[in-house]
Amino acid sequence: MTIRLVAMDLDDTLLRNDFTISPRVLEAIQKAQAQGVKMTIATGRMTVSARPYAEQLGVDVPVITYHGAMIQQVLSGEILFRRVIPSALATEIVQDAAGRGVYTQIYVRDRVITAQRNHFSHEYERIASVRMEEADLSILLAQEPEGVEKILLMGEEAALDQLAPLLRQSYGEKVHITKSKPCFLEMTDGSVNKGVALAALAEHFGIDPSEVMAIGDSFNDLEMIHYAGLGVAMGNARPEIQEQADIITASNEADGVAEALENYVLARRTGQKG
């Protein structure tokens, strides 16, 4: 099997815990690109938050953001694919969350907005290196003609795990509900996820699923791990994710992305045993 396209999650996968890319990982990615392998990022982050990493890696392949709700060419800004939660439905969800006392953020293109900033928003700003806006979400959504890429709820994991089935019961297949971190519960349009976006990107390049590697660590990575011919779970991934992957690599702190590329992409392209 020859890998021609690799999709990598950002947080807790490509990035170390300090949100940097290790020299070994960077070198492995650059070597793969030099050999003609297409490398991309597939993240729940907004595009503006993913762009610095794509630029650091020299990624010239469109990146997948908002858990697959958008595919965008980083250098030109061209949007290849965008699917939103319609404004009316987003308003209903935001009001439902507010009634439950759950902290909520909405994402409109490269803006992230919350009703009132607090410790959750400060932590998110630290992680994503973005600036949060404050606004009345219902008024903002009433003025938004299309909709939002993503809705993020933040709270204790146990509380969010209890809330998720209630939201699925209320909204059914209208939204896709997933988690990227224990304290995040995230919603996109029901027709999209990282797997759907990765399939669209592979088709765009004429690449077969068997020639795709996907690397991730959390629930929002499962669909692309299932889609790819070689689904890779990080050594720091939750057991539920590792159980569904084809292989398990080292952790994000131990250059797991580099290990996967060295063993299953670079070695096989140079004829070495991998």
Contacts of 207 (CB under 8 A, 6+ apart): 4, 5, 38
Phi/psi at 36 (nearest 5 deg)? 90, 5
Counting every residue, how long is the chain? 274
Distances (CA, A) of 208 to 2, 6, 198, 204, 267: 10, 12, 11, 10, 20
Catalytic residue among 9, 12, 217, 255: 9
| 9 is annotated as an active-site residue | yes
Which residue numbers are catalytic?
9
